[in-house]
Amino acid sequence: MNKKQKNVLIRIIAAAALTVALHFVPVEGIWQPALYLIPYFIIGWDVLRKAFLGIKGGQVFDENFLMAAATIGAMALGTYSEAVEVMLFYQIGELFQSYAVGKSRQSITQLMDIQPDSANIERDGELETVDPDDVEIGDVIVIRPGERVPLDGEVIEGVSSLNTSALTGESLPRDVKPGDEIISGCVNGDGLLRVRVTKSFDDSTVSRILDLVENSSLKKAKAENFITKFARWYTPAVCLGALLLALVPPLFLGGWAEWIRRALTFLVISCPCALVISIPLSFFGGIGGASRAGILVKGGNYLEALSATRTIVFDKTGTLTRGVFAVSEVFPAKGVSREQLLETAALAELYSSHPISRSLREAVGAALDANRVDEMREIAGEGLTAHVDNRLTAAGNAKLMKRMKIDFTPCDRPGTVVYVAVEGQFLGAALISDQVKPTARRAMDDLRAQGIRTVMLTGDAERIAQAVGQELGLDEIHAELLPADKVTRVEALLAAKPPRSMLAFVGDGINDAPVLTRADIGIAMGGIGSDAAIEAADIVLMDDDPAKISLAMRISRKCLRIVRENIAFALAVKAACLILGALGVTGMQAAIFADVGVMVLAVLNATRTLGGTK
């Protein structure tokens, strides 16, 4: 409880104690209203002040005006105790609401407490502690065990593991070594790291994430906008209703005091606090719960749209697959060992920077002697030749084998096949493919269970796309597409989608920016630290896990379910209390108690969104 909340609590206790005491003190005449004004001003001076400033600023019809009008009217009617009690109930409700919202914000603040306070910069062989904002690109910083990484950079010395849970929601540490990229916001494990800074603090991952979370409330969902518009028309309407209730019935039935009392009760009941507070809090909590799982949602509007999504379109490389080529199978010729085949192929491709060449070198898993290789020559679209141990070696596709008139055994498995031959003798083939992510199949199964149609768009070959699609059980597959073709396909899917449903596109956030923008919702699998992913998409999955998509959908649906519950509950209770108040069945204390009760229950229900899907 903060200082302001403690002051309100003290005022509530003081006003309540004075009001109870006045019940036992026989006071008559002018002293009675004078004494009741003391607790009334203790508990209600801030409400009266806000009401006055609202009238002065032209913003008349709000909850402060309703409370001020109702309680001043009660005082004028001589129901002094009732006026103080109404203000007491209202302030108790406001205190509870303030505390609940504060706890929710604190939860998210702790969740996103990833901003480093300082950085240890290396200057002239000595360490100097500075503000991260003062560190420049190219500077070398030192990160001790247990410290939070202050800036994005490249490890130049040291081996350690990083705790990325604050960014990805995953507890599994990530190992880093010299040459690896490291991002701000992670916590260093047990190794000392020296890191060369590659991004300024303003452009770092931690700054971008915090900016996204802080600004997410600016993009309101339709339900939030509905409540704002509803309150704008609702409050003047009930004020007019209260005025008519006070003036019209007594013209025919008499009893002016009674009808004015009912009109004041009507005003108190009409306060829309439960809706105005709980609906934004629900979306705020939903965004916070998603962030806790490593899912960044840029606004309540995207969270709401996600709940209505019925079609999800996926890119393949880097989204459903790892986006990293690796040797998946090896087919050595008779009399040739697996190790011999891989080593020969890796040596032949030693000087190539192609991803396929790198995958062959990584498959060997040992240092290669560059002195064994010379006269390397690349043949565009076919492969390359080189002299390995002074013997002509060829490594490439079937076109290269045919051109060199080498008798080889074709391989028809999905993926990229590298055939290897030495001095015209076929040694075998290595199958290189992009590996499907371990969680991709489970992600597709979860989406299918939720009634989601899954589509894959890829620029890869038809044979490879069909193999991946069948492995994952996708509903629709389109291959050999250029970036412009993907946009065309998405537009066709948008035109064919069911009414009032949404279409989401999931890509790597780098080469899929046009499609991410064209879809109803863009979801980036760009990886922690990817600028393009954070900029292009509406939702960012911080750990590239496709299974997080179904989790995000469950969070969004839970959030919207809670919003609808609060709207229905608040409006139903309001309608019933307004009718009972107009008929004189309920008094002002009961009315404000019902109003506060509705607000408390609605706020409690809204805080459930902070728990994600639990």
Report CA-CA distances (Å) from 524 to 239, 405, 434, 512.
48, 46, 19, 9
Residue-wise DSSP of 442-469: HHHHHHHHTT-EEEEE-SS-HHHHHHHH
Q: List, by residue number, the catalytic residues.
A: 315
Are the beta carbons of 139 and 320 closer than 8 angstroms?
A: no
- Map residue 259 onto helix, strand or coil: helix
Q: Which of 506, 515, 525 is nearest to 311 (CA)?
A: 506
Three-class SS string for 15-82? HHHHHHHHHCCCCCCCHHHHHHHHHHHHHHHHHHHHHHHHHHCCCCCCHHHHHHHHHHHHHHCCCHHH
Within 10 Å of residue 106's Cβ, how many Cβ atoms? 11
What is the number of other CB atoms lying within 10 angstroms of the CB of residue 7? 11
Q: SS3 helix, strand, coil % of the chain, rounded to 5?
A: 55, 20, 30
- Those residues with Cβ within 8 angstroms of residue 288's Cβ, 6 or more apart along the chain or in another chain: 104, 107, 108, 111, 609, 610
Q: What is the chain's Cα-based Rg?
A: 34
* Token code pair at residue 530: 């990817």
372: left (phi over 0), alpha (psi -120 to 50) or beta: alpha
Distance (Å, whole) CA 98 – CA 106: 12
The 3 state secondary structure assigned to 533-584 is: HHHHCCEEECCCCCHHHHHHHHHHHHHHHHHHHHHHHHHHHHHHHHHHHHCC
Q: How many C-beta atoms surround the C-beta of residue 191 within 10 A?
A: 17
H, E, C per residue of 428-447:
EEEEEEEEECCCHHHHHHHH
Q: Among all chains, which residue has been given the structure tokens 């600016």?
A: 218
Between strands 187-188 and 181-182, the pairing is: unpaired
Token pair 């989401």 is found at 504
CA-wise closest residue to 562 among 104, 77, 31, 204 = 104
Which residue is associated with the tokens 């004020």? 239
Q: Which residues pair with 128 in a beta bridge?
A: 121
Q: Are 148 and 114 in contact (CB under 8 A)?
A: yes
Residues 6+ apart with CB under 8 A from 371: none
Backbone angles phi, psi at 173, to 5 degrees: -70, 160
Q: What are phi and psi of 419, to 5 degrees?
A: -90, 140
